[in-house]
């Protein structure tokens, strides 16, 4: 019995050791390293092989890979990693102003600031049990206050979900004594097989502002959006779930948003963009979560929260053929 008891104890402690090691692996911290031009970046991986990378400059996600190592975002082949130039590609943060809708430089200043790792963020209620994440924070600086006189704290959590989905949770706190308003967008460059072989679903019968025509208002009567020329539209009051269907790869990117009522769909086609490669437009589409038509108001001491969740699921089109007038079938 003594030997059996010792054996049982040994098995118990071995199992305990395995469990502790597994937990340590599951909770393993992110890796901080140097990226292009020596800029600090964070690499986060989960035990299934999914990963993402985010630069502290701009708080900008520059990579999101599935468990096969396939890149799901696009970086410009001419991206400039040289502050204060914004980085082209990945997921830029447009705060506290979208485009030229206010007095600030276009798209605000958050994408041109150095963020910090937030070691002790306030609790973030979530149904996700992901342990593969990083928390960043951007606080208003004296230089920021000169051009936008509102004290704020912008907290960003970037997290991998169980199936490799990527979630960006934004929390903007008003640490000032007066209310402030801001407009906002997250601007993901989603990787696609070919821009001419995809469609965006979810905008049927919605109003949009055509940003190629001085934001003139139109209604989209097409069931899906397809691309054969430059397109730059700000859709108003869009559904919480939008879909990008890639016919060649037979996959669908599902874009889920909360706290942001608008969406931007953009591809420059062959329009010259100084920090975008000549053929880069063929490899991406942006479907952005945004709050533009009605600015977000935050009272003193209060906090706004917005969520952008991106996932990839298989898809197929009716009869196995592409029909540009019909939505595809998605298989979560």
Task: Give the pLDDT confidence score for residue 131 in this predicted structure.
Answer: 82
- Per-residue pLDDT for 7 more than 90? no
Copy the structure tokens of residue 326. Answer: 């019909």
**What is the strand order of the sheet 31-34 is part of?**
31-34, 40-45, 51-55, 60-65
From 50, 53, 107, 187, the catalytic residue: 187
Output the pTM of the full model.
0.88
**What confidence category does residue 14 fall into, taking pLDDT thresholds of 50, 70 and 90?**
low
Least confident of 4-18, 206-220, 229-243, 289-303: 4-18
User: Which residue in 211, 181, 174 sits closest to 96, CA to CA?
Assistant: 181
Percent of the chain with pLDDT over 70: 85
pLDDT at 315: 86
Is the pLDDT at 318 greater than 60, yes or no?
Answer: no
Domain-embedded: residue 46: yes
- Domain annotation covers residue 141: yes
Question: Is 137 part of any domain?
Answer: yes
Q: What is the pLDDT of residue 136?
A: 98
Which has the closest alpha carbon to 297: 180, 186, 185? 180
HSE-CB of 126 using CA atoms within 13 angstroms: 21
Segment 187-207 shows an average pLDDT of: 98
Distance of CA 152 to the CA centre of its chain: 21
Report whether 183 contacts 106 (CB < 8 A).
no
Q: Average pLDDT for residues 299-317, to the nearest whole number?
A: 93
Total number of domains in the chain? 1
Residue 10 scores a pLDDT above 60: no
Instruction: Give the residue-averaged pLDDT of 263-279.
Output: 97
What is the CATH classification number for the domain harbouring 69?
2.70.98.10
State both tokens at 43. Answer: 């690499």
pLDDT value at residue 130: 73
Tell whether 9 is covered by a domain.
Answer: no
pLDDT at 320: 43
Q: Is residue 22 part of a domain?
A: no
Backbone angles phi, psi at 55, to 5 degrees: -85, 140
Give the active site residue among 50, 107, 247, 288. 288
pLDDT at 313: 96
Domain of 256?
29-314
Query: For residue 6, what pLDDT band results from cuts at 50, 70 and 90?
Result: low
What is the predicted pLDDT for the residue at 27?
A: 47
Instruction: DSSP for 68-121, please give it.
Output: T--B-B-B-TT---STTSPPPBSB-EEBS--TTSSSSSTTBSGGGSB-EE-SSP
150 catalytically annotated:
no
Residue range 91-140, pLDDT digits in tens: 999 999 999 999 999 999 999 999 999 999 998 876 456 789 999 999 99
In a domain, residue 102? The reply is yes
Confidence band (pLDDT; 50, 70, 90) for 208?
A: very high
Q: Do residues 89 and 79 touch, judged by C-beta distance below 8 A?
A: yes
Look at residue 18 in the predicted model and tell me its pLDDT: 45
pLDDT by residue (tens digit) across 27-55?
Answer: 456 999 999 999 999 999 999 999 999 99
Note whether residue 198 is domain-resident: yes
C-alpha count within 13 angstroms, C-beta hemisphere, residue 98: 22
Residues in Cβ contact with 242 at an 8 Å cutoff, skipping those fewer than 6 apart = 200, 201, 202, 203, 254, 255, 257, 263, 287
Percent helix, strand and coil across the chain, each rounded to 5?
15, 40, 45
Q: Does any domain span residue 310?
A: yes
| 151 Rama class: left (phi>0) / alpha (psi -120 to 50) / beta | beta
Task: Report the chain's mean pLDDT, rounded to a whole number.
Answer: 90
187 tagged catalytic: yes
Supply the pLDDT for residue 128: 53
Residue 268 has pLDDT above 60, yes or no: yes
Dihedral sign for Cα atoms in the order 300, 144, 292, 63: negative
């Amino acid at each position: 019995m003594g030997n059996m008891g010792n054996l049982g104890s040994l098995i118990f402690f071995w199992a305990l050791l395995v469990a502790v090691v597994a937990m340590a692996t599951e909770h393993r911290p992110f890796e901080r390293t140097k990226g292009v031009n020596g800029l600090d970046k964070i690499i986060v991986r989960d035990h299934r092989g999914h990963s993402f990378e985010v630069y502290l400059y701009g708080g900008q996600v520059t990579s999101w890979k599935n468990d096969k190592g396939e890149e799901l975002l696009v970086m410009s082949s001419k991206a400039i990693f040289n502050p204060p130039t914004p980085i082209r590609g990945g997921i830029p943060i447009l705060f506290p102003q979208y485009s030229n809708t206010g007095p600030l430089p276009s798209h605000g200043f958050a994408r041109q600031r150095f963020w910090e790792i937030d070691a002790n963020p306030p609790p973030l209620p979530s149904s996700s049990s992901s342990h593969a994440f990083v928390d960043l924070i951007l606080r208003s600086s004296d230089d920021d206050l000169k051009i936008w006189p509102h004290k704020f704290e912008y907290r960003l959590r970037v997290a991998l979900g169980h199936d490799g989905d990527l979630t960006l949770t934004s929390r903007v706190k008003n640490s000032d004594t007066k209310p402030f308003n801001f407009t906002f967008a997250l601007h993901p460059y989603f990787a696609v097989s070919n821009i001419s072989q995809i469609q965006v679903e979810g905008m049927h019968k919605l109003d949009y502002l055509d940003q190629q025509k001085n934001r003139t208002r139109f209604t989209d009567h097409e069931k899906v959006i397809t691309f054969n020329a430059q397109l730059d539209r700000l859709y108003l009051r869009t559904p919480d779930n939008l879909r990008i269907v890639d016919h060649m790869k037979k996959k669908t990117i599902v874009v889920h948003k909360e706290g942001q009522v608008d969406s931007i769909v953009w591809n420059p086609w062959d329009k010259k963009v100084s920090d975008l490669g000549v053929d880069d437009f063929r490899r991406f589409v942006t479907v952005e979560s945004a709050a533009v038509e009605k600015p977000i108001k935050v009272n003193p001491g209060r906090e706004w929260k917005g969520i952008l969740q991106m996932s990839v699921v298989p898809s197929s089109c009716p009869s196995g053929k592409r029909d540009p007038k019909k939505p595809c079938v998605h298989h979560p």
